[in-house]
Amino acid sequence: MTKKEKTLTPAIDKKDDTMQVIGRLLTYMTSGEAKSRFWLAMGVQVIAIIGLIAMPTFIGRSTNVVQTGGSMDDLLKWTIYAAIAGAIYLSLSFIASRVFSDLATHALYNLQTALFAHIQTLSLTFFDRQPVGELMSRVTNDSEAVALFYESAVAQMIRALFQIGMIVIVMFVVNWRLALAALMIVPVMLGLTAVIQRVATPAFVKMQEELGELSGFQEETISGHKVIISNRRQEWAGEENAHLAGSVFEIGSKAFFSSLLQMPLTNALIIVQMVLILVVGGFMVINGNLALGTVIAFTGYAALLSSPLSQIANLTSTTLNAVAGGRRVFSIMDEQPTVVDTPDAVEYEFKGGNIEFKDVDFSYVQGRKILKENTFVAEPGQMIGVCGPTGAGKSTIVNILTRYYDIDSGTITIDGQNLATLTQSSLRQQVGMVLQEAFLFSDTVMNNLLYAREGATEEECIAAAKQASAHEFINNLPQGYDTMMTERGSNLSQGQRQMITIARAIVADPKMLILDEATSNVDTRTEKLIQKGLNKLMEGRTSFVIAHRLSTIRMAHKIMVLNGGAIVEYAPHDELMAMKGFYYKLYMSQFKGSDAGDEGEWVST
């Protein structure tokens, strides 16, 4: 991944308020079906904290009994009360922790499923500008940061905040002077927290971005390991990975150091707090203004106050890291698809497969047209060959035909129905596609074929494999149709993978067909075998066949020649040859040994 790629990821630098991000993360724990359980856990936690706070009070009463020479029964009574309060705290804390743990697990599940489901709704424009490694980092690394926040920070933060609030109230009720002395350090602590957060938050955001860049590089180099090995670039890959990992380490060290600095500072202030209580309380006891038991109780309150303050300090790095990850996750959640069905969109009704383009303009980036004023008609059942130089717009034609992108101007109609008024799902259900890069899932061969159409049978899949000339080699695999494919089918040859994807298209049984360099990765013998199946599949179907190898499209009803984003020729093979234009020169260079320079000047967009 390059620095340039990094600028393509939207909304990473979005300056959301930290508390807004935390609040948005918490909604996955506190809304919907989880709402009642969350408030139940909160109520149980409050009662548990009341039991905890009661313990120093009862111990202080016990001290007063000893100091004033009270009875043994009174001492035993307050001691039993303290033990009961402790038992209540332990039992209810266990219950609250268990509920919060379940809520944290479900919150992470809800967030990850919502994120993945939302990604499925996004248009291709999002994936065009989103490097795969960066996207995977958001789905994995950033989600892990949020997971740690849910699992370890939320429950402790809630308990700490309740505990602090309730102890402060009790302190003021018992003795407001001693309470003021005990709380003198709180403003200092809050100020330090604000300063540390101001420094640490940008560092954690930067760390997550650098981690995304590292993940992207690793994903890219591992996927392209053959290129790395064949070009002897292993040492370079190792050095580049070390450089990127070093950047993550350097920024991460600064981020965690700045956040972890709060822990020792908090502990130092807590010691100061204890000293203040003992000094002020000691003077008040000496002057007869306060009972010793109250001072003892206040030292207990201070200890109970210091624990949640330390927890909050300790969880600062976890929370800030989750905020950085949450920002990046929500930047995806806030993305909206660029291609959407209109409110009054209707289902596509197949009427033969007549396709018409009228003055169609299209650009991936505004102001840079890829297609310019393209007009053509494909009659029902016709095979349309598409050829032209790299970058001429061949794949773009079929991408807008399947409405992966919306056009800038002009109209596209299928069977007289405006493409823009049809639902995407009903359109794509009728269009089969075989791409140049054969993609297989990490599953069995049979399941890869069944993937093509819901309700397809194994018998139909086997018949499709026979039609695509794939049945024989599939049967020779270790487990036949039950053989597991490794990632992207890497345990098969390119030709075998392509034959399975063609069989998958046959299983889909579409009304229209698009072949994008479908046979370019197979040898001539295999191509001839596949071509028989494709010819049968294309019978009666309007088909678009993109090809550089012109033998693939010679028998097409019409051949569309693209140059510079415009259709410069559109006619059957014989007519194009008679015209002696671009197609003629390209054909002659391939089959008659003409010099490639005689093809004419191809314009690249």
How many Cβ atoms from other residues are within 10 Å of residue 260's Cβ?
15
Q: Are strands 417-418 and 409-414 parallel, antiparallel or unpaired?
A: antiparallel
Non-local CB neighbours of 49 within 8 Å, separated by 6+ positions: 89, 159, 162, 163, 166
pLDDT at 551: 78
Report the Cα 152 to chain-centroid distance in Å: 22
Distance from C-alpha of 563 to C-alpha of 370, rounded to nearest angstrom:
10
β-bridge partners, 561: 387, 569
Question: 72-121 and 316-333 are packed helices; what angle lies between their axes, rounded to 10 degrees?
Answer: 30
Residue 502, amino acid: I
Mean pLDDT by 10 residues, the chain (605 residues): 35 58 88 86 89 82 73 82 88 88 86 85 81 71 81 82 84 80 72 68 70 70 65 74 75 65 66 73 75 76 74 73 84 88 91 93 87 92 90 87 91 93 89 78 87 87 87 89 78 80 86 81 70 76 87 88 91 93 86 47 41
CA atoms within 13 A on the CB side of 310: 12
Residues sharing a CB contact under 8 Å with residue 286, sequence separation 6 or more, in sequence order: none
Task: Look up residue 190 and give its two tokens.
Answer: 């809050």
Q: Which fold has domain 19-333?
A: ABC transporter transmembrane region fold (1.20.1560)
Cα(323)–Cα(332) distance, integer angstroms: 14
**Token duo for residue 419:** 């493409």
**Tokens, residue 443:** 């599953």
Q: What share of the chain is helix, strand, coil (3-state, %, to 5)?
A: 65, 10, 25
DSSP 511-579: SEEEEESTTTTS-HHHHHHHHHHHHHHHTTSEEEEE-SSGGGTTT-SEEEEEETTEEEEEE-HHHHHHH
Burial class (CB in 10 A: 0-12, 13-18, 19+), 121: exposed
CB-based contact 430:354 (threshold 8 Å): no
CA 334 to chain centre: 12
Which region, left, alpha or beta, applies to residue 513 given φ > 0 means left and ψ of -120 to 50 means alpha? beta
Residue 357 bridge partners (DSSP): 376, 412
Domain ranges within the chain, ordered by starting residue: 19-333, 352-430+553-605
Nearest to 125, CA basis, from 316, 362, 319: 362
pLDDT at 67: 67
| β-bridge partners, 384 | 544, 558
- Site of tokens 């000293």: 275
Q: How many Å apart are CA 91 and CA 57, to the nearest integer?
A: 20
Spatial distance between the Cα atoms of 256 and 321, rounded to a whole number of angstroms: 9
**Rounded (5°) CA angle 473-475-481:** 110
Q: Which tokens hold the place of 173?
A: 């009720």
pLDDT at 63: 76
Q: Which of 187, 208, 188, 152 is nearest to 324 (CA)?
A: 208
Under 8 Å between Cβ of 507 and 461:
yes
Which superfamily is assigned to 352-430+553-605 in CATH? Answer: P-loop containing nucleotide triphosphate hydrolases (3.40.50.300)
Q: Which residues pair with 559 in a beta bridge?
A: 385, 571
Predicted pLDDT of residue 596: 40
